[in-house]
Structure 1
Amino acid sequence: MERKAVIFHGTGANPDVCWLPWLRDRLTERGLAVEVPHYPGLNVEPIDTFLPKVLARHTFDAGTVLVGHSGGAALLLALLQHLEVTVAQAILVAGYATEPNEGAEPVLQQEYDWPAIAAHVNDLIFINSPADPYGCDDRQGRAMFDRLGGTLIIRDGGHYDDTDAFELLDRLIG
């Protein structure tokens, strides 16, 4: 089975920001097929109409690794809930499941089926910082971890959007 990774950017971002191109290149060098789609409608369009477009555009299987940053990490919760397969790994960087600040968050579902999310991923990792300026902080990571299990990494790093490389991600992807 071919291993592949799908890397989702955050709100208002694109595939060429921060560490996304670096991670794409690292994973490609390791032999993974890598997709880094551009979704301008992420966290603009309501999740109920946005998610079907994402599900239709990609294929997922037992060899798939999902990585999401910020709004892309929040998207992974809905994605995992609605998959019909179990993926190998999902890493949520600066993720959140409730509104992290005063802004609207159309990427969030009203409710989550936490057991369904957990059932659709073999290895689930959350990376959050206590000093996230947008509220995607360690409390958000703890709340998801408490519901889903997996691995929670609390590490200073703000919103993890001010670096061109993210060595920890490369090491975590099995």
Structure 2
Amino acid sequence: MVGRRAIIFHGTGGNPDVVWYRWLAERLEARGYTVEVPHLPGVNVEPIATFLPTVLDGRRFDEDTVLVGHSGGAALLLALLEHVEVPVAQAILVAGYCTRPNTREEPVLKESYDWAAIRSHVRDIFFINSRADPYGCDDRQGRAMFERLGGTQIVRDDGHFGDYNQPYERFELLDRLIP
């Protein structure tokens, strides 16, 4: 057995060293996970059609893989889950969205999704959104994904769950959701 793996995808304009990403990685590593927190400056900059192959290239996804995405990284998970070859154990979309949440361009979004394929490629899926998200990645976005995919929707009042002006160095809820 290869063991449990987790990949944490940062949001638009982010990097692996902001907000709760490293904290969560350390918590999971302490429980035996192999964790990757890739730096992907092309998230929500490059069009998803050309960006997704670079994300998939060289990465292995299997039934023991946990995927966590924040903001643009959560939107990236929708496209990624359409294309993985086997169902992953869990996906958690934090401040995720499936349609444009505001007036900015969102190259990470696809025009349409194969919702059945996404659902068939993940055993357990969570949507964590805030009613008070300043970018529109709010509970309505979470509800739109939940209605298409099922899983569990969690609604909080925690802004964007970390941002340049919102320190969010720990995220205990995520640590509890991942077995």
Unpaired runs of 5+ residues, structure 1, are none
Specify the SS of the correspondent of 1:26.
Answer: helix
Percent identity between the aligned chains? Answer: 70
Aligned residue in 1 for 2:95: 94
Q: Following TM superposition, by how much is the alpha carbon of 1:58 offset from its aligned partner in structure 2, in angstroms? A: 1.2
The question of 1:171 aligning with 2:176 is answered yes
Specify the SS of the correspondent of 1:125.
Answer: strand
Q: When the two structures are superposed, what TM-score results if normalisation uses the length of structure 1?
A: 0.99
* 1:107-148, Cα deviation, whole Å (9 max, x unpaired): 000110000000000000000000000000000000000000
The whole-number CA distance in structure 2 between the counterparts of 1:18 and 1:57 is 26
Aligned residue in 2 for 1:72: 73
Q: Following TM superposition, by how much is the alpha carbon of 1:57 offset from its aligned partner in structure 2, in angstroms? A: 3.1
Aligned residue in 2 for 1:29: 30
Task: Please show how residues 47-62 of structure 1 align to structure 2 within 5 Å.
Answer: 47-62=48-63
* 1:65-123, Cα deviation, whole Å (9 max, x unpaired): 00000000000000001111100000000000000000000000011000000000000
Aligned residue in 1 for 2:84: 83
Q: When the two structures are superposed, what TM-score results if normalisation uses the length of structure 2?
A: 0.96
Aligned residues: 174
* Aligned residue identity for 1:109: K
The whole-number CA distance in structure 1 between the counterparts of 2:29 and 2:38 is 15
Question: Over aligned residues, Cα RMSD in angstroms?
Answer: 0.5
Task: Please show how residues 74-153 of structure 1 align to structure 2 within 5 Å.
Answer: 74-153=75-154
Specify the SS of the correspondent of 2:23.
Answer: helix
The whole-number CA distance in structure 2 between the counterparts of 1:56 and 1:120 is 18
* 1:132-174, Cα deviation, whole Å (9 max, x unpaired): 0000000000000000000000011000003100000000002
Aligned residue in 2 for 1:157: 158
Specify the SS of the correspondent of 2:159.
Answer: coil
The whole-number CA distance in structure 2 between the counterparts of 1:129 and 1:69 is 12
